[in-house]
Structure 1
Amino acid sequence: MSAGSSDAGDLTAVRAVDLLIEARWVVPVEPHGVVLDAHAVVVDGGCIVAVLPIADARKQFSPRERVVLDEHALMPGLVNGHVHNPMTLMRGLADDLALMPWLQEHVWPAESRVVGPEFVRDGVELAIAEMIRGGTTCCNENYFFPDVQAATYRRFGFRARIGLPVIEFPTAWASSRDEYFEKALEVHDSLRGQPLLGTSFAPHAPYTVSNESFERIQLLSNQLDLPVHLHLHETASEITDSLRDFGMRPFARIKQLGLINERLIAVHMTQITEAEIADCAANGVSIVHNVESNMKLLSGFCPAEAIRRGGVNLAIGTDGCASNNDLDMFGEMRTAALVGKMIANDATALDAATILRAATLGSARAVGWNELIGSIEPGKQADLAAVRLDDIETQPIYNVISQLIYAAGRHQVSDVWIAGQQKLRDRQLTDIDTVEVVAKARRWRERIAAA
């Protein structure tokens, strides 16, 4: 990789720009399935100005910096559609358990002992470092202390949709329903105008949130035009319990409360029916597929191909590190593709280009930012990831997109930019002290293990 100015020549005929990235392949995602050979992405002011052949780019633009990626695929930064990033500090704490024992007997008790501003800050720092090294440039966050999360994401220049938590029992963040809503609105107001940050309402799940809270969320979501980020139809027992307690499935209850609309980000959906798929498609709901977490907790299988074919926007997420146990979107894409074929009983289901689209433009659409990110197009933010494909493990290359999904790994991500700012350069994080991040994680391990 090298940096410098553009070719010598008639500089009066060329446009000065911040950055010219020359790649062996550019995978723009839009148009679907396209791979551009020997193309350049031109960036200025944090935005993509042009995507064109390298020879033409050198004639038309004079960059302050040029980056040459002659063995790489340049793709949009991955968008992780559902995370609990402070929980990176609980990675491996309680493995090989079903969802409710894992949650009620291990995670919630541990959180009650240690969750606070410092835990959230240090967990998010660790997550940001991991995500950037894995080519992820944006996440859809769902955890407590959203104010601390936002400050941490902002400090490192990472793009995030911050969930404003609502749950019916007291936590370290809030002690009552009114306090959850008061704090949510305070955090939302404080983040107005932040270029890389946004908010959503994050009611935990139908089994932990009341009708009264859902009604309030629906009203505020409409007024503020905010997404609603909700765990929904995660397990079979969730359906059974809802039928017993409410006389209807959770989806029907949420629909009755006015939340089945284009702002709903429905996470998991392992128990969705054909009729519910049609309802989601008709109302613009996005569904976030978290295949590895669902497998590990034996929550069920989301019929992702049926959802996609039904016209629903499909996104990809990892879930939190306490249940996955990583933020590896490359691994998540590969698993989603393979498991999706088994569920659909169709080898052509969830092909490589479709999975890549779900993890980029699909997730961007879910969080409401598909006009900003998710594809490499002029006018969009320059959130980009470069993947080296000259390793033994990714040779020979017949189909670049297939190679990204079925053979490449996050360790091959070499360079990452968010809004045109380089966050990873030749595998090195540019503004994160990795020694300190690891030291903090080890201190939290000692504290949590002792507790």
Structure 2
Amino acid sequence: MTAAHLLSARWIVPVEPAGITLEHHSLLVEDGVITALLPTAEAHRRHPDVTETRLDSHALIPGLVNLHTHAAMSLMRGLKDDLPLMTWLKEHIWPAENRHVSAEFVQDGSLLACAEMLRAGVTCFNDMYFFPEATADAVLASGMRAALGIITLDFPSSYAGDPEDYLRKGLAVRDAYKGESRLSFTMAPHAPYTVSDRTLTKILTLADQLELPIHMHLHETADEIAGSLAEHQVRPLTRLQALGLLGPTLIAVHMVHLNEAEIELIARAGVHVAHCPSSNLKLASGIAPVPALLAAGVNVALGTDGAASNNRLDLLNEARTAALLAKGSTGEPTALTAHQALAMATLHGARALGLDARIGSLVPGKAADIVAVDLSELETLPCYDVVSHLVYAAGREHISHVWVEGELLLDARVLTKLDERELMAKASHWNRILGAKT
């Protein structure tokens, strides 16, 4: 969508200002940017000659932001299920990765993930995985946005041999793709139990120098806490605080096991939290104290985690699960409202990535990253409250159109830049390989 174009819908939920739903409004998009949000009748008067797309039974929302995933692990969806996290990782996932993960694996898995996410209304995702250059190529082929992690561990993998090697390779990828407007980067130390103090200190220095966020699994399981106490005599957050990592550049993923003092600590430090409710439930890691985090002023956004541990890259489903968990765990039906859950799936994720000036809400001046949700199906009728329907009733199957910077990437449920048959063939290829050798 290069020339001026009107998107006119039954409803528009801009997310900013909070709690607002607009009826019979239009977005004017010019050169990939939203330049006006106004009543449709007024839009017709002001712009009578502008091409228009009418979505008379739809709600327009900002593109969803998936704040934590491992895109290429789509090829491991359902590989080994119903196991505790460390058993799953050490006995199955890490050995499978050492045998099979390559640049080809990552590109194919990331293409599959991009297709799934686009069909679920996700326009931007924050990734952590090996061979990030392969993920970058997949993202560019799909037309999406992504923040790519410069992953770092203290043990070797098929991608790198030691922390220095991980960092060298990751920084080279950042340099190679820094001119791509739809790509950004994070420093991505895997977790406190896989990265040493020495490596974390170097990562913090690089993050400060390059002005990059730090994306890290943290306080995911009770075993992680116990292991840190045994090895370091402190809980992981205390260890990171001593190293200087707690601050507004940190995206802490999971944060399931927190005490009141730790919630206050991360609130004061400005740490962002990526809440992955379905993955936490499936791995029996626990339930993050999201209502307490929000009450303390912490920016909490939503992530799917990888398809190997979820097993869906469906952020609307995460919004619903997050809201229901918050209510059920507190006994308060208002603990997390539909409007809050939608903000967590959009603007909060953009804010954590430092992209909220460009994406995350439908306001003039921001990129036209827009999702259309069809609310005319039997499953979504009647409709009294649009945002309630988006969170509690609609699903990814109701997402009909997706634009990124005004470029149409999903048109009536059909991907415009990715070949679905080709992706199915790639998935079948890896299914045979992993199924035969795992």
Please confirm whether the aligned pair reaches a TM-score higher than 0.5, indicating the same fold.
yes
1:268 and 2:257 are equivalent in the alignment: no
Opposite residue 84 of structure 2, the aligned amino acid is: A
Give the alignment of 1:51-450 within 5 angstroms. Answer: 51-61=37-47, 65-450=51-436
C-alpha separation in 1, matches of 2:415 and 2:50: 21
Deviations 1:295-333 (A, max 9, x none): 000011101111111100010000000000010111111
Shift of 1:62: 5.2
Checking the alignment, whether the CA contact within 8 Å between 2:143 and 2:417 is kept in structure 1 is no
Opposite residue 128 of structure 1, the aligned amino acid is: C
Checking the alignment, whether the CA contact within 8 Å between 1:22 and 1:39 is kept in structure 2 is yes
RMSD: 1.2
Shift of 1:431: 1.3
Checking the alignment, whether the CA contact within 8 Å between 2:77 and 2:311 is kept in structure 1 is yes
Opposite residue 405 of structure 2, the aligned amino acid is: A
C-alpha separation in 1, matches of 2:137 and 2:428: 22
C-alpha separation in 2, matches of 1:134 and 1:323: 18
C-alpha separation in 2, matches of 1:84 and 1:33: 31
When structure 1 is superposed on structure 2, of 342-351 and 123-132 the one drifting more is 342-351
Shift of 1:239: 0.5
* Residues 1:63 and 1:130: Cα distance change in structure 2 (over 3 Å): farther
C-alpha separation in 2, matches of 1:449 and 1:31: 49
Partner-residue secondary structure (3-state), 1:164: strand
Deviations 1:391-410 (A, max 9, x none): 11111111100010000010
Checking the alignment, whether the CA contact within 8 Å between 1:120 and 1:145 is kept in structure 2 is yes
Structure 1: runs of 5 or more not aligned: 4-15
C-alpha separation in 1, matches of 2:330 and 2:176: 45
C-alpha separation in 1, matches of 2:178 and 2:400: 33
Match of 1:10 in 2: none
C-alpha separation in 2, matches of 1:168 and 1:397: 52
Opposite residue 294 of structure 2, the aligned amino acid is: R
Checking the alignment, whether the CA contact within 8 Å between 2:132 and 2:148 is kept in structure 1 is yes
C-alpha separation in 1, matches of 2:291 and 2:3: 42
TM-score by length of 1: 0.95
C-alpha separation in 2, matches of 1:203 and 1:426: 39
Checking the alignment, whether the CA contact within 8 Å between 1:130 and 1:327 is kept in structure 2 is yes
Percent identical: 49
Shift of 1:105: 0.6
Shift of 1:63: 5.9
Checking the alignment, whether the CA contact within 8 Å between 2:114 and 2:138 is kept in structure 1 is no
Deviations 1:408-433 (A, max 9, x none): 01000000000110001111111111
Partner-residue secondary structure (3-state), 1:288: strand
C-alpha separation in 1, matches of 2:347 and 2:122: 13
Checking the alignment, whether the CA contact within 8 Å between 2:359 and 2:369 is kept in structure 1 is yes
Shift of 1:207: 0.2
C-alpha separation in 1, matches of 2:375 and 2:164: 52
Shift of 1:277: 1.4
Opposite residue 443 of structure 1, the aligned amino acid is: H
Shift of 1:193: 2.6
Match of 1:8 in 2: none
Checking the alignment, whether the CA contact within 8 Å between 2:141 and 2:418 is kept in structure 1 is no
Deviations 1:353-373 (A, max 9, x none): 000001100111111111110
